[in-house]
Amino acid sequence: MGALWQTDSSKTVVPTEQVDGEAPLPEKPRRSRHGWKAFWLLLLIIAIVVGLAASKEMRTSRFQAREVSKFAKTLSYELKPGPSDAIHYPGAGPFDLRLGYSSLDEFLPRLLKRDYVISAQTRFSPALMNYSNKGFFVPYSEKIQAGLSITDCKAAPLYQFNYPQQLYSSFESIPPVVINSLLFVENRFLLDPRQPMANPAVDWPRFGMAAYTQVAKLLHLPGQSAGGSTLATQLEKYRHSPDGLTVSGGEKIRQMISASVRAYQDGPETLKVRQNVVRDYLNSVPLSAVPGHGEVHGMAEGLRVWYGVDFSKANESLNSDATDPKSLAEKGLALREMLSLMIAQRRPSHYLTKGRDELADLTDSHIRLLAQNNVIDAPFAAAALASKVTYRDWALQPTIQPIETNKGISVARSRLAGLLNRPLYDLDRLDLSATSTLQGDLQTQATAYLKKLADPVYAAQIGLMGERLLTPTSTTQVRYSFTLFELTPDGSRVRVQTDSTDQPFDINEGSKLELGSTAKMRVLTTYLQIISELHDKYAGMTVPELKKVDVPEQDHISRWVVDYMIQNKDRNLSTLLGAALDRKYSASPGEAFFTGGGLHVFHNFRKEDNGRMPTLRDAIRESINLPFIRLMRDLVRYTTYSGPNNSAELLKDDRDPRRQEYLAEFADREGTSFLLKFWKRYKNKDTQERLETFLDSMRPTPIRMAAVHRYLLPHASQESFNNFVRSHLTGAKLTEKLTDDRLVRLYDAYGPGTYDLPDQGFIAKVHPLDLWLMGYLLNHPDAKWSEIVKASQFERQEVYSWLFKSKHKGARDGRIRTMLEIEAFLDIHQRWQKVGYPFDHLVPSLATAIGSSGDRPAALAELIGTILNDGVRMPTLRIDSLHFAANTPYETKLNNDPDVGKRVMPSEVATAMRGALSQVVDAGTAKRVSGSFVTPDGKPLAMGGKTGTGDNRIEAFGSGGRILSSKSINRTATFVFYIGDTHFGTLTAFVPGASAEAFKFTSALPVQVLKGMAPILTPYLQPGSHTMCLPLELSRR
């Protein structure tokens, strides 16, 4: 049996086994037409059903509302402690960049390197990670306004920048005519209440027309292109697409999908979302940029920046029922201004600048269409058509933002800008909250107090009138600057930083001033540190061993330490430091000192000190100059003859046969060492900054400037040479006029090849290797250290060989002393830098002991803070915590977590320094403030400090060092202090410019000003008060 073929039923069926021969082929069955009809009918039914379903879906969006909202619920995130292992930062969308979200992967590593730790960060759900990794924009309720916020240590507001500054806070606050006009122009059915689940990302008729025009464009058919973007997709585009542009069809799809998911993230009904789309669009639409202002976003900013129009008044007019001609004209103008910006957003850089007439015509056309479609009535339309916008006059109405003049806030912002590597303009627009260490109330009180000192009546009440103080007519010209720090377990927190000016320049942080005798504190600290080092070196020796110690005769400090230990059984370091402070130095001004390449004479402030032989303890207390000049000379000699890098031994024996080999080894080793010091000074600077740093270390004269220029720029023209020399001698009074003829002589005298490198350096009074390196970097600005070492082999030998070429021993010795002094000051500079000295070099002169190298009040405060903290240098803290992107998927919190500090001097040295500085307040130059700060039970708080007066002058010298003229360019008086166990700071009085010549005040002035602050400061200085700030763990939440 087998399967049967289908046959004609009218014929007899013959069994197959009875058929003889070959079986006939079966006939093919005819295809039924009814089958094809059924197929096409079924296909038609399916198409109709799908079409009806699609039509219904386009009308109701019911299906996508249900499914997309369900999917959107899985796209969640949560803030958890510690750094996140599931987060995806956004791309380079304009708003993501502006708010800082795109830069978090840059910000966070920078902050982690600067002792901040991530305390909390959001974690994406797996679905959200997958969604964002595919390139879609993360859905969340985006902020309509954001910007930098800074609070003080009590979490009280200090600074708030909101961007945009004006906006529609809600949909309800928008005038209906603005809403209707926008919908008519951009998205007519967006707010249709009959479609509660509508997807705002798609306008089907508009999308269809856009698709048709794109196809027609490909087929070269006639017709205008139509855009398919809804307001929702436009928001996605200019907020999150790279450069705010749609560069491909794929990018358009990404915008539409992202907008759809965002619309349904709170559920299937979207009317509220669509209303917020209108609000957000009006608040954020890009409207080009303006010089002096920057980018322009939103209607409020657009009206103010482009038209000079008050946003509130414009909305008031548009909300009014204006009927009288004047009110109607104002309302019509407001509509035109609003409508023109809506239209201009298509090509804002064109329409708002070169295409203003074109924009006016387009606005007229849209006003007529609004009237024809009953969006506005005829009188309103006529008023709008009759109006004309007036563009803002940038010359008469600049939009430059005001500069923040509160010094504490200014420094906090600058610190944040440095931490994040962003300019202040960009910083203000980040979605960032930061907690400052400032105490806001105290900052306000201190600022008000300093400003009030300009009033002569109030200044007299504070006690600022009198000899070496002020007169009633001079109070308005003196500026005051004040800082207060609090020593905490993890750093020195800035509680107050302010001054009496309304200028952005900050004397505390941004200045380089001669602060006079405050430098004696640095000199004395260095001296006691060296005493401590010598104690470590010799304390373990027996008396016979000490007697065999070979001490160079020039090294008076080492000689004294060795002799002291031979003579005294008590070798305790504290005892030795006390004895070191009791060493006596002459205060006589009768000696001329060879320093800085020439002979110099120094003077004491008080002539009655000239005949004294005070101890160093007395000299610091009464701020006597000459003992410190001589102490600095001893420090230079110690460094030269006995220090770790002493370079005097090779000069002793001219006949030693190993001398040349030793010199070569010495030159290579020492030359490389000095080159490295100079390289560290220049390596992170550009060419102009390098040149400024180099020249800043010099005392300019025509010859020195000529020698430097002809070496650094040997092929420069005479004109270029003249400009260089004159520009760097501006303000200097010279013994000989700088005529063109003299400049020609200088140009020829110091030309290439006239002098070798050592002589050129000697003439310029700079280290020859410093000069060579500056020249090399001018020609090779991107050179690496290895390249510099390789390129300087000959010069390192040359620099030291010149010492033995001179035939005259006296001349040779003078050059040797100059070179050794320069090298000694490089080592002393390294010591100063370890305790916070802020600048790249010291002037190689004994005058550095009385302030000639300059300093900063904030750096002096850091040193006294280290002394107060028993020799441990703590980081200076201005920003305790940062909070990025609060309540967004990118939320990140960071706290300051600095190192515990670094010991930079022995505890015994710090104790000895506190003892010496306390005498300055108790019985010295700051005694007028003694007892001013007390505890509630009347007990005086421990207090110490150092005073200093800086009279910064331009002086012209004649032969023999004779002063021909002297002109004051500013005058300073500073008091650096500590109060109690945890507070320290500085107070500086400062008069800039030519008017300083008329002032004779001394450091008594800032001391008296601080005394007058006692009622303000005392409540914040009490032990255990922590300056009335929140505990750190609370302030960081």
CA–CA separation, 761 and 770 (whole Å): 8
Minimum mean pLDDT range among 4-18, 948-962, 993-1007:
4-18
Average pLDDT (752-765) is: 89
What pLDDT, on a 0 to 100 scale, did the predictor assign at position 664?
Answer: 65
What pLDDT, on a 0 to 100 scale, did the predictor assign at position 994?
Answer: 78
pLDDT at residue 543 tops 60: yes
CA–CA separation, 958 and 312 (whole Å): 69
Count of residues in the chain: 1037
Cβ atoms of 190 and 474 within 8 Å: the answer is no
- Higher model confidence: residue 406 or residue 1014? 1014
- pLDDT-derived band at 26 (thresholds 50, 70, 90) equals low
Q: Is 518 helix (H, G, I), strand (E, B) or coil?
A: helix
Average pLDDT (592-613) is: 91
Residues 455-465 pLDDT 10s: 999 999 999 99
Cβ atoms of 663 and 650 within 8 Å: the answer is yes
What pLDDT, on a 0 to 100 scale, did the predictor assign at position 222?
Answer: 57
Give kind and range of the element (H or E) at residue 950: strand 943-957
pLDDT at residue 926 tops 90: yes
pLDDT at residue 741 tops 70: yes
What pLDDT, on a 0 to 100 scale, did the predictor assign at position 61?
Answer: 76
Cβ atoms of 303 and 311 within 8 Å: the answer is yes
CA–CA separation, 344 and 634 (whole Å): 75
Distances (CA, A) of 806 to 316, 714, 810: 89, 26, 9
- pLDDT-derived band at 6 (thresholds 50, 70, 90) equals very low
Of the chain, the percentage scoring pLDDT greater than 70 comes to: 84
Average pLDDT (933-940) is: 91
pLDDT at residue 919 tops 90: yes
What pLDDT, on a 0 to 100 scale, did the predictor assign at position 90?
Answer: 96
What pLDDT, on a 0 to 100 scale, did the predictor assign at position 331?
Answer: 96
- pLDDT-derived band at 409 (thresholds 50, 70, 90) equals confident
Residues 851-878 pLDDT 10s: 999 999 999 999 999 999 999 999 999 9
- Higher model confidence: residue 510 or residue 162? 162
Q: Is 657 helix (H, G, I), strand (E, B) or coil?
A: coil
Cβ atoms of 887 and 893 within 8 Å: the answer is no
Average pLDDT (826-837) is: 94
Closest alpha carbon to 106 in 884, 939, 999, 824 = 884
Quick one: CA torsion of 96, 280, 305, 296, rounded to 10 degrees? 20
Minimum mean pLDDT range among 5-19, 156-170, 446-460, 996-1010:
5-19
What residues does each domain of the chain span? 40-71+168-284, 73-163+411-434+883-894, 293-401, 437-511+859-871+914-1032, 516-643+810-852, 657-689+765-805, 700-764
- pLDDT-derived band at 849 (thresholds 50, 70, 90) equals very high
- The pTM of the full predicted model, rounded to 2 decimals, is 0.79
Backbone angles phi, psi at 803, to 5 degrees: -60, -25
Average pLDDT (650-660) is: 52
Q: Which two tokens stand for residue 607?
A: 């002539």
What pLDDT, on a 0 to 100 scale, did the predictor assign at position 958?
Answer: 39
DSSP per-residue string spanning 973-1017: EEEEEEETTTEEEEEEEEEESGGGGG----THHHHHHHHHTHHHH
Average pLDDT (1007-1025) is: 90
Quick one: CA torsion of 385, 388, 391, 397, rounded to 10 degrees? -130
pLDDT at residue 84 tops 50: yes
Minimum mean pLDDT range among 76-85, 349-358, 469-478, 890-899:
890-899
Average pLDDT (124-149) is: 96
Closest alpha carbon to 87 in 138, 53, 47 = 138
The tally of CA atoms less than 13 A away on the side-chain side of residue 211 is 8
Average pLDDT (355-360) is: 96
pLDDT at residue 761 tops 60: yes
- For 40-71+168-284, give the CATH class: mainly alpha
**Strand runs (DSSP E) across 226-301, as ranges?**
286-290, 294-297
- pLDDT-derived band at 845 (thresholds 50, 70, 90) equals very high
Q: What is the mean pLDDT of the chain?
A: 87
What pLDDT, on a 0 to 100 scale, did the predictor assign at position 653?
Answer: 54
Minimum mean pLDDT range among 101-105, 353-357, 390-394, 531-535:
390-394
DSSP per-residue string spanning 173-220: GS-HHHHHHHHHHH-TTTT-TT-TT--TT--HHHHHHHHHHHHHHHTT
What pLDDT, on a 0 to 100 scale, did the predictor assign at position 960?
Answer: 38
